[in-house]
Structure 1
Amino acid sequence: MSSEKLWTPNQRNGDGGFTRRRLLEFGAAGALVMGAGSLLSACSGGAPDPGTPLKPLESLGGGKPVRGGTLRLGMITGGASETLNPAVAATYTDLLRSYQLYDHLFRVGADIQSLEPELALSAEPNKDATSWTIRLRDGVNWHDGKPFTADDVLWTIQSWSSSASYANGIVRQFIDFKAVRKDGPLAVVVPLVRPAAEFASLLTYVNCSVIQNGAAPDSFNTQPVGTGPFKFESFNPGSQSVFTRNPEYWGDAEKPYIDKLVIDSSFNDENSRNYALLGGQIDVAPLYASEFAKRQLSSKEVNVLGAAGTQANYFTMRVSEGPFADVRVRQAMKLLVDRQALVDGVFNGLGRVGNDIYVTDVAYILEDVTAAHDIDKAKSLLKAAGAASATLTLQTVAGVPRYLNAATLLAEQAKKAGLNVKVEPIPYSTYFTAAAGWPAPRSFGQDAANTVPSLTAFAAGQLLVGCQADETGWNALPDSQTKLDQAISEPDPSRASELWGDVQRQQVAEGGHLVWGFSDWLDAASKKVGGLRSGKAGPLNDYRVLDAWLTQ
């Protein structure tokens, strides 16, 4: 089977330079999916009461679940580039749809550290974690009635071997694609090209949905067939998607409760979407802007769901060349930044401070690392590096408040250490493209990361040779891979904890990620919606719309 014949770059829906990295940031008009800025403050919804504690709900009430009705979700538009192809889902709007139609082998558990079985029941490594056997769930049917089998998983994994699938950037450093094989109708053996004790965590990646045997990209936008809680009815990119309840959903005999799900993706900005929520034109606004959330916690016109987020927001410094090749300059930047001021200014306080560790809540995470704020020490390091009063250019995203606000605040803070940081806005349509220097050779930039389920996934995305997003040039440094290779391959939890601790301490001290904060997940819903929950893994408790019901 040749996946390259099925998954070629020119078959992506509206590619146009719209890379996987942009799934975190944009709608078609450059509106920020999760951010807030001065534009938002002009909107309706009541002024916040400074004395009201900011306590979003963990879940919506509503009493006993009610069956039936149509639930309307509003999302920022992706325009003509919107897609139902899970391999190239490139915005939160795309992902929301994908998670209703398709399932993964595993998904991230509520605590982030554990894996929740979906179409797989277990993933078992051999002794040295160089091969994994995935046991599959029996009794699952596709939306067209065909049974789910190992052949579907084989087809899916082979589709990841193509660079046209965004999953490729995460798994290509691990899977020996030519050696993957069936072991009966409900098991698949996945040999690896390197030992990986946390390999199963990579299968939770957002673009690793399981597709039907024989499915090709040209079918996804017209007649997608999945195993998820909702079935396809219609899709109009940049306007509306309509899905209906899957009565044979394997996950829960009672769910989904609603009969029909309408995803309205016609909103060009957060203002218009908020007006629609308050006016009753939509029932749910996932990824609610923090400014609106803060207001609604006081005015209570709608319910606000919230959970401590796992989305890292960070500046990138290229360690292999340019001004940041001197570790003292990197260390100075980490010392001069006022992280709490960034969290307060950019997230309206609805977030938490970062400590230059790219992930949070995962296994082996260091809990005792606190980022220092020391302007005098930063000045001393810059002077020793011959960079006192240096001018640095920070590239950011034009028209996206979260990025631009954070860059502007950092530039102001850097003045206190004698640095002149020039903010260079780049159009959102090109920022995450090779033409604009992403991921290399950009010297100083910004990014954000979706939920990362393990330190191995972090390494696969950012640090290993051949990684998906080489934003800091870490893998070009001498001996940069030794500690990573040891940690990734170590099966003993005690020893793995030591090794991953070394990796994290090295990244904090020497790495090129300045992780300043983690934004909360915030969702808003009409008072007539029940059942929805918040969660650390993502919006709507990791896109679990099937939990919702309508109380009236």
Structure 2
Amino acid sequence: MFNKKSIALVLIIAVVGFALVGCGQSEKAAEQAPEKNQQQTEKKAQEKVKPKSGGTLVFGRGGDSVKLDPADVTDGESMKVTRQMLDGLVEYKPGETEIEPALAKSWETSEDGLTWTFNLRKGVKFHDGTKFNADAVVFNFKRWMNKDHKYHDGQFVYWGYMFGGFPGVVKSVEAVDEYTVKFTLKEKLAPFLANLAMGPFGISSPTAIKKYGEDYFKHPVGTGPFKFVKWVKGDRIILEANEDYWEGRPYLDKVVFRVIPDNTARFMELQSGSIDMIDGVNPNSVPQIRNADKLKLSLRPSMNVGYLAMNFDKKPFGNVKVRRAINHAINKKEIIKGLYAGLGKPAKNPLPPSLWGYNEDIDPYEYNPEKAKKLLAEAGYPDGFKTTLWAMPNPRPYMPQPKLIAQAMQSDLEAIGVKAEIRSYDWGTYLQKTENGEHDMALLGWTGDNGDPDNFLYVLLDKDNAIKGSAGNIAFYKSDPLHELLIKAQTTMDQEKRAELYKKSQKVIHKDAPWVPVAHSNPPLGLKNKVMNYEPSPVGQEKLNDVWLKQ
């Protein structure tokens, strides 16, 4: 990796070791693929070649961003773009989930884990020319955490997910001096540092927020490698290089994110040369990319889950026997074989096996239609029932062909007497409606943000996040035993003890069956051969400042 940073060595006391989770395991699923070896060979070759500056990278994707204020979204399409414009205090190493300095050049924590002090980078400016300093950091955090803040214009659901509500676990954020910020917590939060590296907590210009108010999401201003130029809704977002970026000017002059909803149409544009890289690759396009002279395939390290959530608030899904029957009815292996190009593995837990704390000892619900029918009869539905099955409109990394996957599930459910009508909406509406709990069953998924099990289990399945209007837990599953385990894990600093708590949590979840966990995928991306030094991140989005184009 051509890394232009000059990073001071940071001495961090042992208590933060829990947060520095490497991604060696997260790449395990991809290591056997030929692309992994090809990427490693390419990387070594590129280290001998001088990168070229200039050019425009056109990235084809399946859906548009919802908003360009990362603190007020939960979708990857938004954060894929905002990651280029806003930096956080800390960030993940390229291709990994290990923490490294960003706008904070170093940090330290108290022995009790309740006080965190960050030393900020000097000489950094926002894209509007205003100064980045401790006051800017304090302004951003107070805006997110305090509902009565003048500029708390939005839901800021990620803050609630990761910090336990508003204001949540953070007691105070103070500017010690111009370039030092101190956080005081009400209680220990084991993934605190890892949470801060997540895309939603990129630092915005306070001046821009005050200028645009509730329309700030249309006019993002950060300190990142690229600056916002233009957003044509449903079509494209244009960014340009930040000439004064603190890491050094990016190689690319511009980045254009184009919206091309149809996977096949997007692939055809890659083949024709009108775009430079795509995600959401159809399974039948994978061998074509592998065999094309001018294209190459890149696999994102697997740290995700695609799932079917059953809404506890809608009949008959409050009945555990019905939920278990649905689990036995879905033929995951055939879905992955036919609709994931084999680039995935069947899921039995909500946590991906690449993360520490994964419970390998859980016995999956096997595909068994007869057992499913028996459970339905025991639940009082011997003839099945009618329901709705919601399908995402766009391909997602964890679910490359959601409408076809929904159709396959519809057929599986029909075989046990469950008649499911498929419904879909545009991406923003789909997210809003599922967060409101309007669905019976809905397909969705999650790409891990920080390499910590808390980011999956607490965000997606804890009762704290089953709040209509901002639900991360769209099953609206509310388990007190699970909640106790997850909160204890958050406040336990020893990683081995945390891992055991997460393994127990997965036993509770498996027994209650709020989801059908479908698959953990290795999402494929197609690139032109001229795209150099692109390193996909397991968290689903990466900065493009070190990517360059071979002439």
For the aligned pair, the TM-score class normalised by the smaller chain equals 0.7 to 0.9
Q: Who is 2:88 aligned against?
A: 104
Distance 1:145 1:320, change over 3 A: closer
> Any idea what SS the aligned residue of 1:207 has?
helix
The question of whether the paired residues in 2 share the 8 Å contact of 1:394 and 1:423 is answered with yes
Query: Is 1:444 aligned to 2:441, yes or no?
Result: yes
Distance 1:235 1:321, change over 3 A: closer
Query: Is 1:202 aligned to 2:186, yes or no?
Result: no
Q: Who is 1:24 aligned against?
A: none
Note the 1:278-289 alignment, pairs <5 A. Answer: 278-289=271-282
State the Cα distance separating 1:235 from its structure 2 match: 4.5
Q: Which piece of structure 1 moves more, 305-314 or 210-219? A: 210-219
Note the 1:360-509 alignment, pairs <5 A. Answer: 360-369=353-362, 371-375=364-368, 376-397=370-391, 400=394, 402-416=401-415, 418-428=416-426, 432=430, 436=433, 438-440=435-437, 442-453=439-450, 454-467=452-465, 468-475=471-478, 477-509=479-511
Query: How many residue pairs get matched?
Result: 490
> Any idea what SS the aligned residue of 2:496 has?
helix
Q: Which amino acid aligns with 2:422?
A: E
The question of whether the paired residues in 1 share the 8 Å contact of 2:61 and 2:280 is answered with no
The question of whether the paired residues in 1 share the 8 Å contact of 2:95 and 2:535 is answered with no
Q: Who is 2:245 aligned against?
A: 249
Distance in 1 (CA, whole Å) between partners of 2:230 and 2:404 is: 38
State the Cα distance separating 1:245 from its structure 2 match: 3.0
Distance in 1 (CA, whole Å) between partners of 2:183 and 2:356 is: 23
Query: Is 1:58 aligned to 2:39, yes or no?
Result: yes
Distance 1:530 1:76, change over 3 A: closer
Q: Who is 2:21 aligned against?
A: none
The question of whether the paired residues in 2 share the 8 Å contact of 1:302 and 1:524 is answered with yes
The Cα offsets for residues 525-547 of structure 1, whole Å up to 9 and x where unpaired, read as 22222221234232xxx323222
Distance in 1 (CA, whole Å) between partners of 2:233 and 2:374 is: 54
State the Cα distance separating 1:70 from its structure 2 match: 0.9
State the Cα distance separating 1:347 from its structure 2 match: 1.5
Distance in 1 (CA, whole Å) between partners of 2:388 and 2:301 is: 28
Distance in 2 (CA, whole Å) between partners of 1:427 and 1:239 is: 18
The question of whether the paired residues in 1 share the 8 Å contact of 2:94 and 2:535 is answered with no
The question of whether the paired residues in 2 share the 8 Å contact of 1:74 and 1:273 is answered with no
The question of whether the paired residues in 2 share the 8 Å contact of 1:89 and 1:207 is answered with yes
Distance 1:121 1:354, change over 3 A: farther
Among 149, 164, 169, which residue is 1:173 paired with? Answer: 164
Distance 1:359 1:202, change over 3 A: farther
The Cα offsets for residues 244-300 of structure 1, whole Å up to 9 and x where unpaired, read as 33344333x4x6223x11305253533443333222222222444443233211334
> Any idea what SS the aligned residue of 2:504 has?
helix
Among 181, 188, 203, which residue is 2:181 paired with? Answer: 188
Q: Which amino acid aligns with 2:101?
A: P
Q: Who is 1:312 aligned against?
A: 305
Distance in 2 (CA, whole Å) between partners of 1:293 and 1:373 is: 29
The Cα offsets for residues 90-135 of structure 1, whole Å up to 9 and x where unpaired, read as 7655333312211122334567653333223456554554444344
Q: Who is 2:335 aligned against?
A: 342
The question of whether the paired residues in 2 share the 8 Å contact of 1:113 and 1:363 is answered with no
Q: Which amino acid aligns with 1:64?
A: V
State the Cα distance separating 1:480 from its structure 2 match: 4.4
Structure 2: runs of 5+ lacking an equivalent: 1-32, 146-151, 396-400, 466-470
The question of whether the paired residues in 2 share the 8 Å contact of 1:399 and 1:428 is answered with yes
Structure 1 length normalisation: TM-score?
Answer: 0.78
> Any idea what SS the aligned residue of 2:475 has?
coil
Distance 1:543 1:340, change over 3 A: same
> Any idea what SS the aligned residue of 2:316 has?
helix
Q: Who is 2:224 aligned against?
A: 228
Q: Who is 1:47 aligned against?
A: none
> Any idea what SS the aligned residue of 1:195 has?
coil
Percent identity (aligned)? 21
Distance 1:300 1:413, change over 3 A: farther
The question of whether the paired residues in 2 share the 8 Å contact of 1:125 and 1:132 is answered with yes
Distance in 2 (CA, whole Å) between partners of 1:459 and 1:382 is: 28
Q: Which amino acid aligns with 1:69?
A: G
Among 322, 325, 332, which residue is 1:332 paired with? Answer: 325
Structure 2 length normalisation: TM-score?
Answer: 0.78
State the Cα distance separating 1:176 from its structure 2 match: 5.2
Distance in 1 (CA, whole Å) between partners of 2:224 and 2:509 is: 39
Note the 1:516-535 alignment, pairs <5 A. Answer: 516-535=518-537
The Cα offsets for residues 334-389 of structure 1, whole Å up to 9 and x where unpaired, read as 23322221212222222222113244533423344452415154444334333444
Distance 1:183 1:508, change over 3 A: farther
The question of whether the paired residues in 2 share the 8 Å contact of 1:155 and 1:212 is answered with no
> Any idea what SS the aligned residue of 2:390 has?
strand
State the Cα distance separating 1:64 from its structure 2 match: 0.8
Distance in 2 (CA, whole Å) between partners of 1:209 and 1:264 is: 19
Cα RMSD over matched residues? 3.3
Distance in 2 (CA, whole Å) between partners of 1:385 and 1:116 is: 51
Among 22, 45, 60, which residue is 1:75 paired with? Answer: 60
Query: Is 1:351 aligned to 2:336, yes or no?
Result: no
State the Cα distance separating 1:315 from its structure 2 match: 0.5
> Any idea what SS the aligned residue of 2:333 has?
helix
State the Cα distance separating 1:242 from its structure 2 match: 3.9
Q: Which piece of structure 1 moves more, 518-527 or 407-416? A: 407-416
The question of whether the paired residues in 1 share the 8 Å contact of 2:532 and 2:547 is answered with yes
State the Cα distance separating 1:494 from its structure 2 match: 2.7
State the Cα distance separating 1:437 from its structure 2 match: 5.8
State the Cα distance separating 1:439 from its structure 2 match: 4.2
Q: Which piece of structure 1 moves more, 56-65 or 67-76? A: 56-65
The question of whether the paired residues in 2 share the 8 Å contact of 1:431 and 1:438 is answered with no
Distance in 1 (CA, whole Å) between partners of 2:73 and 2:488 is: 33
